Structure 1
């Protein structure tokens, strides 16, 4: 856990921790359990991961890099459809897709020197790389929390701070 560094180093480290937290919440789940719908919405552990991959593609490939849709790694919209997945998608394959999207996000962001670099979003206007980092940290942390709760409902496992390398007395 990085606690000292430049603003960019800290933003990137916390984003990577949020990415890893979401993946950890699915570790050891069977494909069937990862598909279980325990709430009325489309939210399942597997759906949270496919949605997070779509968010990575949307913000980094689609917006920050401005790539045409033919160069996206997959679905790149953060709508309800992003929670969907193929009938035969496994947790392992979904994690690989997510990690690939994250690697591309890192590479794209590395090519942008300034946190104040601006891109246009058709609904909310101009956003900066700094804002994208903060938004993705918030998005992934929120969904890791959702996945943690679903995981606890499925098999009783919880993702406490100790499991993330934080001593129990410092967790939370």
Structure 2
């Protein structure tokens, strides 16, 4: 994989996918090498765990992908169960969450590579946090994923440093 500081000449699609992947990888790196107990632990004042962040990021990516594809999301949660996306359920592991995310990543990449234009758009669902009848482009979705993953990669860095002193940047 190219490093995000490398220009991908004339290829906005490739550059955006690269930045999405870079932030995915930052989250994954924070969870690498931990025991199941460490990955599920919540060592900070927040309720977040590294395993929960990985699960959440995978589910968020799938949700945006399904909206862009204009297909139903087979993993959609009821609004009152949103918090369950931040913790492992019975039988789930960090490894299963990472494997699920791998399948979502491959599907997202394939879909984005297949759309005719990053200007293609899709409707946002009715929700209090979206403007009525709003649409967003594929480009916007990719930038939103970068923002989402970067925010949670920062959370993951803090959790990991709290757990064992490992620092993302040195």
Settle same-fold status: TM greater than 0.5: yes
1:153-172 alignment runs, 5 A limit:
153-160=162-169
Which of residues 38, 44, 65 is equivalent to 2:49?
A: 44
The corresponding residue for 1:66 is: 70
- CA drift at 1:37: 1.4
User: Does the aligned pair in 1 maintain the 2:44–2:162 contact within 8 Å?
Assistant: no
The corresponding residue for 1:31 is: 36
Instruction: Give unmatched runs, 5+ long, in structure 1.
Output: 163-172
> Does 2:21 correspond to 1:16?
yes
- CA drift at 1:97: 1.0
Which of residues 57, 80, 87 is equivalent to 2:62?
A: 57
For the residue of structure 2 that corresponds to 1:127, the secondary structure is strand
Which segment is superposed worse, 48-57 or 116-125?
Answer: 116-125
Which segment is superposed worse, 3-12 or 48-57?
Answer: 3-12
Seen in structure 2, the aligned counterparts of structure 1 residues 37 and 89 have a Cα distance that, compared at 3 Å, is same
- CA drift at 1:76: 6.4
TM-score, structure 2 normalization: 0.84
Which of residues 131, 137, 146 is equivalent to 1:137?
A: 146
User: Does the aligned pair in 1 maintain the 2:49–2:87 contact within 8 Å?
Assistant: no
TM-score, structure 1 normalization: 0.83
- CA drift at 1:77: 7.9
User: Does the aligned pair in 1 maintain the 2:40–2:88 contact within 8 Å?
Assistant: no
Partners of 1:54 and 1:40 in 2: how far apart?
A: 23
> Does 2:155 correspond to 1:150?
no
The corresponding residue for 2:99 is: 96
Partners of 1:65 and 1:76 in 2: how far apart?
A: 18
CA RMSD of aligned residues (A): 1.9
Partners of 1:77 and 1:9 in 2: how far apart?
A: 34
Instruction: Give unmatched runs, 5+ long, in structure 2.
Output: none
Q: Which digits, 9 at most, give the CA deviation of each residue in 1:74-124, with x for residues without a partner?
A: 346893232132233222221111111111111122221211111111232
